[in-house]
């Protein structure tokens, strides 16, 4: 019996991408906390990640299911994993990136917080307290008077933060009742803002998002570097040019969809976008290429284009998949 048994079964959906043997530490943190693991491989490497996934599946066939995604598309991979988890009859789906590591008792802490909440029937997502050594001041976003936003952080007197606008996908524990054709991950986004779109969508439909302080998970975003600028400490995430394209295109798509429902989020993200542009131009490498990709993303977002960036393909090479 796992920690999740008291409120139903939990199935972890982990999307893997070119991580190889480094994935095992995160995988081992799932043991004893979830009832099943679905690995969805999107890798484009020479098959190393597929070999690791296959070995993990073969060693524990009752615990691990392996799916090879036809595309390097995060949203598609998540939908494939979610569909498989629901078909297996699980009550909860835990979405994870391959580099996330659960602290002992993470699911148990979520379970406790869930049952202590008097209006738990409207909870649509439970989120962990993310621990990132490179970003100790991480915050979560709430609406404030609808047209503004509020940054929230845990402290000793705050065991849960309820009514959040959005959280990152990795570590999100979602009950099966939330998943409908209208709440599927948008595969046209490919990557970036997939989680923001999902969260804003379910909140718009009346579900609540609650984060739990004692549910700890280690997760890093990007390749963070710290810079100093006239007494200020500035961190950059140093994403690749193609990631910058999707980040800036997809945020415009999110704005178009949710401005009237969640104007506070859009205002926050607009301010964050300006700050992000400033950081990229002052501190990151390959600025011109990134700028070109950002401009292309903004144009495509303005006209509503989705899917792969023009001139690129999401198809995976044959040697990266199981054979």
Q: How high does pLDDT run on average in the chain?
A: 93
One domain for residues 171 and 231: no
One domain for residues 239 and 205: no
Q: Is beta strand 36-41 parallel, antiparallel or unpaired with respect to 64-68?
A: parallel
Q: Between 319 and 152, where is the model more confident?
A: 152
| Residue ending a domain, choose from 218, 234, 262 | 218
One domain for residues 78 and 165: yes
One domain for residues 230 and 153: no
**CB of 141 closer than 8 Å to CB of 265:** yes
**CB of 3 closer than 8 Å to CB of 111:** yes
CATH code for the domain in which residue 106 is found = 3.90.550.10
pLDDT score recorded for residue 132: 79
- Per-residue pLDDT at 160 exceeds 80: yes
**CB of 245 closer than 8 Å to CB of 294:** yes
Three-state secondary structure call for residue 271: helix
pLDDT score recorded for residue 226: 86
One domain for residues 181 and 266: no
One domain for residues 28 and 48: yes
pLDDT score recorded for residue 319: 81
Strand partners, 15: 40, 97
pLDDT tens-place string over residues 198-233: 999 999 999 999 999 999 999 877 778 888 888 888
Range in 35-49, 130-144, 160-174, 281-295 with the lowest mean pLDDT: 130-144
Residue 321 lies in a domain: no
Average pLDDT value for residue range 108-133:
94
pLDDT tens-place string over residues 94-119: 999 999 999 999 999 999 999 999 99
One domain for residues 244 and 189: no
One domain for residues 250 and 205: no
Neighbour-count burial for 43-53, b at 16+ CB within 10 Å, e otherwise: bebebebbebb
- Per-residue pLDDT at 10 exceeds 70: yes
Residue 318 lies in a domain: no
One domain for residues 47 and 166: yes
pTM above 0.85, yes or no: yes
Q: What percent of the chain has pLDDT over 90?
A: 84
One domain for residues 137 and 285: no
Q: Which two tokens stand for residue 235?
A: 């961190």
One domain for residues 120 and 171: yes
One domain for residues 205 and 237: no
| Residue ending a domain, choose from 167, 185, 218 | 218
| Residue ending a domain, choose from 198, 218, 238 | 218
- Per-residue pLDDT at 322 exceeds 80: no
Domain that holds residue 261: 225-303
Strand partners, 92: 10, 175
Average pLDDT value for residue range 132-161:
87
Q: Which two tokens stand for residue 266?
A: 């859009």
């Amino acid at each position: 019996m796992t920690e999740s048994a008291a409120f139903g079964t939990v199935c972890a959906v982990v999307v893997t991408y070119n991580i190889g043997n480094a994935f095992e530490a995160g995988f081992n943190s799932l043991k004893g906390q979830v009832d099943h693991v679905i690995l969805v491989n999107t890798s484009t490497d020479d098959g190393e990640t597929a070999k690791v996934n296959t070995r993990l599946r073969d060693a524990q066939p009752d615990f691990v299911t392996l799916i090879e995604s036809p595309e390097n598309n995060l949203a598609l991979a998540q939908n494939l994993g979610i569909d498989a988890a629901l078909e297996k009859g699980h009550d909860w789906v835990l979405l994870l990136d391959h580099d996330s590591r659960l602290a002992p008792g993470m699911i148990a802490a979520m379970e406790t917080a869930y049952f202590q909440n008097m209006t738990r029937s409207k909870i649509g997502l439970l989120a962990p307290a993310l621990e990132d050594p490179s970003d100790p001041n991480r915050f979560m976003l709430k609406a404030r008077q609808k047209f503004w936003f509020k940054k929230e952080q845990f402290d000793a007197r705050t065991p849960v933060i309820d009514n959040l606008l959005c959280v990152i996908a990795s570590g999100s524990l979602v009950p099966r009742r939330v998943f409908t054709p209208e709440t599927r991950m948008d595969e046209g986004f490919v990557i970036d803002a997939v989680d923001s779109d999902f969260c804003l969508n379910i909140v718009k439909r009346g579900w609540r998002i609650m984060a739990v302080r004692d549910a700890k998970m280690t997760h890093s975003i990007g390749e963070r570097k710290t810079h100093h600028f006239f007494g200020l400490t500035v961190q950059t995430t140093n994403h690749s040019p193609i990631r910058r394209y999707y980040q800036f295109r997809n945020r415009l798509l999110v704005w178009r969809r949710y401005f009237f429902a969640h104007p506070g989020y859009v205002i926050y993200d607009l301010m964050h976008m300006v700050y992000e542009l400033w950081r990229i131009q002052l501190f990151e490498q390959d600025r011109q290429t990134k700028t070109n990709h950002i401009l292309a993303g903004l144009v495509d977002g303005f006209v509503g284009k989705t899917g792969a960036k023009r001139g690129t393909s999401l198809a995976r090479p044959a040697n990266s998949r199981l054979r």
